[in-house]
Amino acid sequence: MNELASLTKHNGVAVITVNNPPVNALSPGVPESIRAHIEAAELDSSIQAIVIIGGGRTFIAGADIKELEAAASGATPNPPKLHPLLCAIEDATKPAVMSIHGTALGGGLEVAMAGHYRVASPDAQMGQPEVNLGIIPGAEGTQRLPRLVGVPVALNLCVSGQAIKAGESLQLGLIDQIVEGDLLTGAIAFAKEVAAKGGPHRKTRERNEKLGTLESNAAAFAAAREQARKTRRNQHAPLAVVDAIEAAVALPFDQGCQREREIIRECLASDQCRALIHAFFAERTVSKIPGVPKDTPTLPIRQAAVVGAGTMGGGISMALANAGIPVLLKDADQPALDRGMATIRKNYESSVKRGRLTAEAMADRMALIHTQLGYEGFETAGIIIEAVFENMALKKQVFTALDRIAKPDCVLASNTSTLDIDEIAAVTARPHMVLGLHFFSPANVMRLVEVVRGKASGKQIIATCMALTRTLRKVGVLVGNCWGFVGNRMMFPYMREAQFLVEEGATPAQVDQALYDWGMAMGIFAVDDMAGIDVGWRVKQEHKHLEKQGLREPLLLEKLIAMGRLGQKTSAGWYRYDGARKPIPDPEIEALIAETARQAGIPRRVISTEEIIERCIYAMINEGARILEEGYALRASDIDTVYLTGYGFPAYRGGPMWYADTAGLKKVYERVVDFHRQFGELWEPAPLLARLAAEGRTFASLDAEKSVESAREERAGAR
């Protein structure tokens, strides 16, 4: 009969198995198919109980996000409807036992909660992560969850979006039993037992005993709203989900569901929801690389080596060890190695202290990192990552040595943030084995890795490194070999405008506050102080010869460097620091800025928040458009992923290019043209931005067009 779910009989128990690989998402046809089998089981007098279980590696993992995307973009009128299935389960006269393994998230958990009973394997996970996509649970989850676990727990689960394991679920009352051993056998036994007892098999919607009242939960609602505002700054959905759970307490079940539907409809119609869904798919699209098909053979990485045990080399070694890959870590001198290992130890110890890692796991990981001064053992490494000082002559020296030692199929990667990968590759006799792997600091934490493709980088090492980033639980984005690659190249105009704005009358604190309130994780001046003002400065000096002469230059950096105000590390930079890392606005700097502007003849004026946002963000977008047009990023959505995973750009704005689409490319372009007129050549509009704005198009439409083209080419290639 129906393939999306099947029914088998086991001695009086109907087992309905969902078959929609890979994760049994609730795609069209799945709910209908499960429901048809429930109806059949109800009519079958030989059946006493019903078990619903997922085929393959999981229960129903969640909604079909493509369907949500269609609803959010207005292509389909309503959110996917599960109500008839939920009713069929809950109203069944025979006990319905939901049998959970893998994950029951979102719609998956909502279906599970409609059952009369839930059993789970010990490692199963459950949660309502909808807020991550800018929505609330929309299939009665906000109404059933508080009935099962009580209001405070339901609030926490829905606002945080975090999943919990079976053990905790059992304690909270979300499930009724943990099944050790074979889940289906255990579920059938449980079903027989409850059927034999003869009920009543309670409907979740009628279980009101844990709900309490609006008064008794007042503090919990207030705390949840506070949690939402703090942990999900500026986002609507986490507050909306509190409203929906409030409705569960205030209203009878059916009316509560009605309220939930109204709220989710509002969420689906929001820019935030569309942006978060875009961010979700953008991150999954990075692995699609034209010319490097999914089945490109990758090289096995069983042993890695890292050169340079400094900030980055240490972090990269940790990332490798965390994934179980043994690392040979080399530095030029013993004190540097000792410092490197001490930092690694300190970082792991802090994870152990915070309960994120066991002492045994720490010991295992430390044991995977072997320090050394020479190149012994490097000949067995599948990848060698260089992270020595940012100096071309030194990097060339290291790669010359690596070329002599490494096995022929070893990937040679540089962690350089600005140097030319082709120039580095050229000192080897195997440029096709060389590329950049640009990790971000702290490399054991930050998810982004720019995989920098040199002119000669072979497709096999690209495929290998993209796969490696996944193994490291990071997000690899393939970028081209231009100055600053994608992320830092866009960061420079952003930073430049921030500095111009303070010269023209804003304060660093005002600019930072505007950017922070807009959603950036940190203000740009606070970032500069954290990274070290001298770092960016040195990079800029080295590349001065590439810059066009006669353009306006920021004036303050040089003065800060001369004053020894290098940022947090000297307790003073754009801000002052008094022991803690909290930036304190410094009148001395504000006076210095005003005086510098006076000397340079820059008129001072009141700067609006709107101008701060437009100049900083649009400068970034204009550069992004150039990068895209020049082919240094494959897609606008890749640029978004770089900014979302590496630069603290707010996910609910979708990334800089998506944000530009949302603001309207015509508007962005016109402002860039205004700024060009006002501030000169640095604001020359990117031709791609001009073209798309004139055609009334978006960066997203350009991505869609490219994806159709590359699918066509792939099909042609396969023939």
- Please indicate whether residue 110 is annotated as part of the active site: yes
Q: Are 436 and 454 in contact (CB under 8 A)?
A: yes
Q: What angle do CA 144, 149, 152 make, to 5 degrees?
A: 105
Stretch that binds ligand NAI, among 24-32, 251-259, 382-390, 688-696 (CB under 6 A): 382-390
What minimum distance in Å lies between the beta carbon of 633 and ligand NAI? 18
Q: Are 526 and 518 in contact (CB under 8 A)?
A: no
Closest CB to ligand NAI among 527 and 668?
527
CA distances from 504 to 471, 500, 596, 606, 676 (A): 47, 6, 10, 8, 16
Is residue 198 classed as helix, strand or coil in its secondary structure? coil
Task: Report how far residue 669's alpha carbon sits from residue 666's, in angstroms, rounded to the nearest whole number.
Answer: 5
Residue 387 binds to ligand NAI (criterion: CB under 6 A): yes
- Please indicate whether residue 130 is annotated as part of the active site: yes
Phi, psi of 104 (to 5 degrees): -120, 90
DSSP per residue, 376-406:
TTGGG-SEEEE---S-HHHHHHHHHHHHHHS
Looking at beta carbons, which residue is closest to ligand NAI? 310
Closest CB to ligand NAI among 487 and 685?
487
Q: Which tokens is 623 given? A: 């550069």
Closest CB to ligand NAI among 423 and 714?
423
CA distances from 694 to 548, 623, 629, 667, 706 (A): 28, 18, 16, 11, 19
Residue 474 binds to ligand NAI (criterion: CB under 6 A): no
Task: Report how far residue 568's alpha carbon sits from residue 225's, in angstroms, rounded to the nearest whole number.
Answer: 33
What minimum distance in Å lies between the beta carbon of 531 and ligand NAI? 6
DSSP per residue, 283-298:
HHHTT-BTTB-TT---
Closest CB to ligand NAI among 134 and 536?
536
Among 114, 312, 506, 557, binds ligand NAI (CB under 6 A): 312
Considering just the CA atoms, what is the radius of gyration of the chain in Å? 28
What minimum distance in Å lies between the beta carbon of 400 and ligand NAI? 11
Residue 316 binds to ligand NAI (criterion: CB under 6 A): no
Residue 332 binds to ligand NAI (criterion: CB under 6 A): yes
Residue 186 binds to ligand NAI (criterion: CB under 6 A): no
| Strand-strand pairing, 13-18 and 434-439 | unpaired
What minimum distance in Å lies between the beta carbon of 659 and ligand NAI? 25
Amino acid symbol at 312: M
Build a one-symbol-per-residue string for 413-442: x at contacts with ligand NAI by CB under 6 A, - elsewhere: --xxx--------------------xxxx-
Stretch that binds ligand NAI, among 330-338, 346-354, 605-613, 677-685 (CB under 6 A): 330-338
Residue 195 binds to ligand NAI (criterion: CB under 6 A): no
Out of 67, 69, 90, 110, pick the active-site residue: 110
DSSP per residue, 226-252:
HHHHHHTTT-SHHHHHHHHHHHHHHS-
Residue 495 binds to ligand NAI (criterion: CB under 6 A): no
Stretch that binds ligand NAI, among 73-81, 328-336, 598-606, 696-704 (CB under 6 A): 328-336
Number of residues in contact with ligand NAI, rule: CB under 6 A? Answer: 24
Closest CB to ligand NAI among 55 and 310?
310
What minimum distance in Å lies between the beta carbon of 567 and ligand NAI? 12
Residue 390 binds to ligand NAI (criterion: CB under 6 A): yes
Helix (H) or strand (E) holding 117: strand 117-120
What minimum distance in Å lies between the beta carbon of 440 and ligand NAI? 6
Query: Which spans of this chain sit near ligand NAI (rule: CB under 6 A)?
Result: 307-313, 330-332, 336, 387-390, 394, 398, 415-417, 438-441
Q: Which residues are catalytic?
A: 110, 130
